[in-house]
Amino acid sequence: MPDWNIIQAVNDALRLEMRRDPRVVVLGEDVGKFGGVFRATLGLVEEFGADRVIDTPLAEAGIIGAAIGMAMYGLRPVPEIQFSDFIFPAFDQIVNELAKLRYRSGGQYSAPVVIRTPVGGGIKGGHYHSQSPEALFIHTPGLQVICPSNPYDAKGLLLSDMRQDDPVIFMEPKRVYRAARGEVPEGDYTVPIGKANVVREGRGMTVLAWGAMFHEAEKAVAEAPELDAELIDLRTLWPLDIGTVVASVEKTGRCAIVQEAPRTAGFAAEISAQIQERCFGFLEAPTARITGWDVPFPYTLENDYLPLAPRILQKLRGLAAYQP
């Protein structure tokens, strides 16, 4: 079984599905001969040709608009938005068209579009190449939002996404594109959408994270085994596996949520509200949100912005010590 990074896992998922299903097409800026800015589509145009691996102009609204039209007439497009920060010119197409297509057509049209996009900071990209906009799309009914943290999940979830009929925002944490490595089966397999992964069991507290911040949470938990933390990688942000979250919080009585995005109105706030609604009688402390700050993502101070392991650990120890 090969030891791959997330880029290699994504590339293999695309290649496998394009071989399996001739309706799958890839489109985006520089996805062809150049192989994408992070090389996730490298080699695909040589195998499948320019009719199925399509270099587009720098026009995100056009990329997604074209993908919607392709999906309505039988194709299964996988558009790439080069950085999630550039997705906003296509926001109208995604929110007002793609997300509502099945509903407004009474099921006559489906929208099997999987939008791949790198998210997050940590690569010295500055405020135009480092944002984490997941909450904006989770707030939009009709969209699934996925953010894997490792190569195994990236391949398995991407294959699952490409085989179902609802639109997906597939967010790839670029900070760990090559740093997160692991064994990945070369053949076909899927990871179920809507199922979180309990990576470490414990009874002291529940720690929830996703994407690149999962690795920081994992480091923090490993440094403090006395906390006996249960660590959960959400993987699928929406639909949220609230059953796994609730079962864990009912067992531990304490919960911390780690997100890279700014604090206010982030996805951690929604998770916290759902925990409060379902687990109020079990909670022994307020739910802790460990997040980015409510500022544009800073270039020179990105390590102060990101909720890295030392800040996470400090908050976890405070959560453990809390007494009502």
Catalytic residues, by residue number, are 129
Picking from 176, 120, 198, 142, the residue whose alpha carbon sits closest to that of residue 4 is: 176
- In SS3 terms, the chain reads as CCEEEHHHHHHHHHHHHHHHCCCEEEEECCCCCCCCCCCCCCCHHHHHCCCCEEECCCCHHHHHHHHHHHHHCCCEEEEECCCHHHHHHHHHHHHHHHHHHHHHCCCCCCCCCEEEEEECCCCCCCCCCCCCCHHHHHCCCCCEEECCCCHHHHHHHHHHHHCCCCCEEEEEEHHHCCCCEEECCCCCCCCCCCCCEEEECCCCEEEEECCHHHHHHHHHHHHCHHHCEEEEECCEEECCCHHHHHHHHHHHCCEEEEEEEECCCCHHHHHHHHHHHHHHHHCCCCCEEEEECCCCCCCCCHHHHCCCHHHHHHHHHHHHHCCC
Phi, then psi, of 50 in degrees rounded to 5? -75, -10
